[in-house]
Amino acid sequence: MADINVIERVSDNPTGISDSPLRTVVLSGGPGSERAVSLASGKAVADALRQAGHQVRLADIRPDDLGALDTPADVFFPALHGKFGEDGQLQQIMDSRGLVYCGSGAQACRLSADKQISKKLFTENDLPTAAFDVAQRPEDIARATACWSMPVVVKPLDEGSSIGITIVERADQLAGTIQRTIEQFGPVMVEQYLSGKELTVGILADRALPIIQIKPDGPFYDYNAKYVSETTQYLFDIDIDHDLYERIQAMSVRAAQVLGMRDFCRVDWRLDARGEPYLLEINALPGFTEHSLLPKAAAKVGLPMPRLCDALVRLAMARCESGVATDRRRG
């Protein structure tokens, strides 16, 4: 990941206005189920970059319409969530064209988007993650039904924004839930449900931001709680031991390094009933809407949206100028 001094230099600017405006293209929309959120993130990023003094074009991009990538620009800012934008496809295209862009490279995005592979890598690197299984075929469903104790979480293997997630509390409902989720989304992950606090850690340039505890109205942080509800609580004052707080931050940085994340990402955690932390997943392109967690955490340390987005485009430019490799996965 890039040097934190770039962010500190931007943060020290009392106006948040860049000395030299950059031609930036914010890529939003995309073809996936998270398109509406991607459009909202793109608009928020574009507005922030304009406030920071940059020349900005906001573009809707799809796999069958890549015209925005032909725009003369210093740097591109992908604000697409889910398929195409967050699974490495868009990043691979930009790499092939030699474009400068914010965020992680193609390989890191592929790893983080595949929940099965990323969880295996976490386990191999001694990062705690909840027990899981993957189901796609009838025999997988039968195995899952026989092996799991309730409650469990059933979720699509490659969707984000909590789309398609179901908490199953009765064993006689598990097979049907898995089958319906497979029919709608494809392969699914079955994961042991953890009943403790839901936490998230934003990462900027290899540094952990303050932890946020998420308190939705329902049993978990679903799509409605993320993007619609006005009653979801986001807490910085968290009732956990200081040593545990620092351990979660350190493990979040380590997890990002294991997958080779770059510039920024968000690491999601859940505590079990005893208060032990378990890593859920890493988001390569976390949301940038008014409800989004990474901007909230960045603002807590003095980086409101204009400064944050300015810092990210300058991280990308600094990486280009220094010739840093696209992916930096470390096992």
Cis peptide before 216 (omega within 30 of 0): no
Secondary structure (DSSP) of 31-95: SSTTHHHHHHHHHHHHHHHHHTT-EEEEEEEBTTB-GGGGS--SEEEE---STTTSSSHHHHHHH
Do 49 and 101 meet the contact criterion of CB atoms below 8 Å apart? no
Known catalytic residues? 34, 161, 227, 266, 268, 281, 283, 287
- Looking up tokens 């940059």 gives 54
Lookup: tokens for 316: 């990308």
Give kind and range of the element (H or E) at residue 154: strand 152-156
Do 37 and 45 meet the contact criterion of CB atoms below 8 Å apart? no
Do 163 and 34 meet the contact criterion of CB atoms below 8 Å apart? yes
Torsion of CA 220, 223, 224, 225, to 10 degrees: 40
Return the amino acid letter for 304. Answer: P
